[in-house]
Amino acid sequence: MKKLSARRRHPMAALVVLLLALAATGGLYAAFAPADEAKADDGAQSLAIEEGKRLYDVGCSSCHGAGGQGGSDGPSLVGVGAAAVDFQVGTGRMPMQQPGPQAPDKPAVYTQAEIDQLAAYIASLGPGPAQPNTSAYDPAEGNSAEGGELFRTNCSGCHNFTGQGGALTHGKEAPGLDDVDPRYIYEALLTGPQNMPSFPDSTLPEEQKQDIIAFLQEVNTSESATPGGFTLGGFGPVSEGLFAFTFGIGALIAVSVWVGARTAKARKS
């Protein structure tokens, strides 16, 4: 025991213990670390970026520049993120057929796999919003009543009270949101395409985006209930009520005049 205690007090004892601990830690990490999976993920990501670069060179570089830095016909894509690519290309807005005040939606040119590759390449140019998980835009997770208040506060000025869309200046428009895929609504809120302001999570948290999506699913799909009948394009209760009141009063006056003209007194005169 005296010999062991003497060794513990040796000046090199602490260094030996430290080296043994580091060797043990390294051995355990080498034994249990998922090295193969990490390498496989890195390889798949690199391949997606490579394929995305190839697609970009063919379909996008003429407007956005060879490295996504932008050009005279298209803005820089550095830092826009994968979510912006998924929205713009997935809704067919990009590539544009011709320059104009606004890119309209149309059938997508690329498959979803190709869109993911393009998104991987653009995301590699600079940090930006990533494509959301499915649970982030699930309407079932949102509160439609809360979403209605948020939509009327932040969106109805352009998109109308129930997302029917509206005209903007200089030939632009806020598109209708009827039957839009919830994923694209979420990505539009996140990235702010074209004339629309962006609503990052610091401004509009994920839960509130879900609420807005739930509201739009409630009032603006082909399966939404219309208890009031004709909605007049969702202009809102005041304008719709005024329209109904004006035409209703006009119709009552017209009927009264028509009935009055056919009374016996009116016929004698």
What is the rounded distance in angstroms from the CA atom of residue 97 to the CA atom of residue 69?
21
Contacts of 78 (CB under 8 A, 6+ apart): 68, 69, 70, 125, 126
pTM of the model: 0.73
**How high is the pLDDT of residue 207?**
96
Q: What is the pLDDT of residues 172-193, one digit of tens each?
A: 889 999 889 999 999 999 999 9
Q: Could you tell me if 219 and 152 are in contact, meaning their C-beta atoms sit under 8 angstroms apart?
A: no
Q: How confident is the model at residue 114 (pLDDT cuts 50, 70, 90)?
A: very high
**How high is the pLDDT of residue 92?**
96
Task: Tell me what the mean pLDDT of segment 89-110 comes to.
Answer: 91
pLDDT of 128 strictly over 90:
yes
**How high is the pLDDT of residue 130?**
96
pLDDT of 265 strictly over 80:
no
Q: How many residues are listed for the chain in this entry? A: 269
Q: What is the pLDDT of residues 61-90, one digit of tens each?
A: 999 999 999 988 899 999 999 999 999 999
Average confidence score pLDDT of the chain = 86
Residue found by looking up tokens 């830095």 in the block: 69
**How high is the pLDDT of residue 87?**
97
**How high is the pLDDT of residue 187?**
97
- Segment among 46-55, 112-121, 230-239 with least mean pLDDT: 230-239
| Residue 5: how many other CB atoms lie within 10 Å | 8
Q: How confident is the model at residue 42 (pLDDT cuts 50, 70, 90)?
A: confident
What is the rounded distance in angstroms from the CA atom of residue 232 to the CA atom of residue 73?
38
Q: How confident is the model at residue 156 (pLDDT cuts 50, 70, 90)?
A: very high
In the chain, the amino acid numbered 79 is G
| Residue 53: how many other CB atoms lie within 10 Å | 20
**How high is the pLDDT of residue 35?**
59
| String of DSSP letters for the chain | -HHHHHHHTSTTHHHHHHHHHHHHHHHHHHHHS-HHHHHHHHHHHHHHHHHHHHHHHHHTHHHH-TTSS--SSS---TT-HHHHHHHHHHTT-SS-SS--SSPPP---SS-HHHHHHHHHHHHHHS--PPPPPGGGG-GGGS-HHHHHHHHHHHTHHHH-TTS--EE-STT-EE---TT--HHHHHHHHHH--TTSPP--TTTS-HHHHHHHHHHHHHHSSTT---TTS--TTT--HHHHHHHHHHHHHHHHHHHHHHHHTTSHHHHH-
